[in-house]
Amino acid sequence: MTKYSTALDALTVANGEKLVWGRRTYVMGIINVTPDSFSGDGLGNDVPAIVDLARRFQDEGADILDVGAESTRPGHDPITADEELKRLLPALEAVAGAVNLPISVDTYKAPVAREALSGGACIVNDIWGLKADPHLAEVAAEAGAALVMMHNQKGTQYADLVPDVLASLKASVAAALNAGVAKENIVIDPGIGFGKNPDQNIEVLQNLGRFKSLGCPLLVGTSRKSTLGLLLELPSDQRLEGTAATVALAIAGGADIVRIHDVKEMVRVGRVTDAIVRGWRPDNWQGII
């Protein structure tokens, strides 16, 4: 397994820029190596198409690529680690050889994460926050890799939604630290669309600032999700404007990374929002004449 000598905040993202939390919001482009993505963008085993998409995302300004080989849509059929690796590794290795961006692997299985970190990934994105496979933290720690931990649960019953989600994420962070993952390598995700109904998703988005109390960078993923479809009464491929609204508001609420399908458009949304919220300016800015 590759041993990463740099922490997440030392990674080189778009255009050779070093990732520095708080400077601006980073864009994570979604690459679904699945036949059954909820958003209809699953590319299956078409490696040339996957590489083309990765290159396009890089050209459009993505900072990180998130490659996943198992659908996590509601009602999806789980697959074995062997099947996931069969789908994932050819695509991951091809993408790693084609772009100059950090690559995240979207998996909750330790054996898959281990192979992916040897195949070109340097971030593990766990939709179960170590609750499905606690050994995943040990894999990340051994590699010195970054670890994104999302809140998720079966069902949508909570005593008190935001405090409950916070407590769950706090437990995930503690488990990662106990396994040896460096604090600077941990990112949290409140899990929009996972174990939450539409009203709960909106409530979480209204309270993003509360998750900053955990002291970790915050990833938010709202792209094309069903709550937007219900609000707009539109299918997944027509939710661009709804996604843009949630991306802008998530950044205003403290998001450090946004995970999205429509890279070009959301990079533009992010830059304008960052200019207002974070004081970001492009290198060639001439706003004062």
Give residue-wise pLDDT tens across range 24-52: 999 999 999 987 554 445 566 789 999 99
Domains of the chain by residue range: 12-276
Q: Is 259 a catalytic residue?
A: yes
Q: Are 43 and 50 in contact (CB under 8 A)?
A: yes
pLDDT of the residue at 38 = 46
Task: Give the residues across from 124 on adjacent strands.
Answer: 105, 147
SS3 of 218, please?
strand
Q: Is 264 a catalytic residue?
A: no
pLDDT of the residue at 75 = 63
Across the range 88-108, mean pLDDT stands at 96
0.85 exceeded by pTM? yes
Architecture of domain 12-276: Alpha-Beta Barrel (3.20)
Which of 259, 264, 268, 281 is catalytic? The answer is 259
Q: Which residue has the higher pLDDT, 122 or 78?
A: 122
pLDDT of the residue at 37 = 52
Which of 212, 225, 271, 278 is catalytic? The answer is 225
Q: Are 99 and 65 in contact (CB under 8 A)?
A: yes
